[in-house]
Amino acid sequence: MAVFTRINGDAAGVVQVDAGRAFANASIINTGIAAPLTAYKVTIVPGAGGGGAGNLAAELTTGGAVETILRIVSGNATVLAYQTDAAGANSQLSVVVERSGWSSDTVLQSALRQTTAGDGAGNIGALANCWVGAATVSSTGGIKLA
């Protein structure tokens, strides 16, 4: 029986396509998208004063909080996919983007916190109160599916 021994190649990222070659956890490797990917987790606290449980699924409507957040994110990146989740007392929007121009999570977080969309004071909810004044942004978790 013939045996073929591979002498080069691996499953790591590709230079100039991915964010660079990386042998590390939470490093996103592209297959079919010719641009570096970033996954952001945006957590917001619905309700005045940061209280109450909420679910961003109700804010998928026209003019809702999800649309407002995506508009801000897409100011410096191309949005590929997103998902809403209720996470305890907070709501979470996970966004996968390509070619992100956001220099850091903190810069995107500041852009969200400073928005005057909605009521002019940071409440961007169309059907419920969704205050982004205490929003947090993180891209360190990669694209975990659970």
Element (H, E) at 86: strand 78-87
- Tell me the pLDDT band of 94, cut-offs 50, 70 and 90: very high
The mean per-residue pLDDT over the stretch 102-129 comes to 85
The mean per-residue pLDDT over the stretch 95-122 comes to 88
Measured over the CA atoms of residue 69, residue 106, residue 53 and residue 55, the dihedral's sign is positive
Q: Which of 51-55, 60-64, 87-91, 107-111 has the lowest mean pLDDT?
A: 51-55
Beta carbons of 72 and 112 less than 8 angstroms apart: yes
Report the C-alpha gap between 59 and 100 in whole angstroms: 24
Q: What is the pLDDT of residue 34?
A: 75
Q: What is the pLDDT of residue 52?
A: 41
User: Could you tell me the CA-to-CA distances from 130 to 77, 103, 118, 123 in Å, in that order?
Assistant: 23, 25, 9, 5
Q: What is the pLDDT of residue 125?
A: 82
**Displacement of CA 35 from its chain's centroid (Å):** 16
Question: Is 37-138 CATH 3.30.70?
Answer: yes
Report the C-alpha gap between 27 and 141 in whole angstroms: 9
Pull the structure tokens for residue 30.
């592209």
Q: Is 38 exposed, middle or buried (0-12, 13-18, 19+ CB in 10 A)?
A: buried
Pull the structure tokens for residue 29.
């490797």
Residue 72 DSSP symbol: H
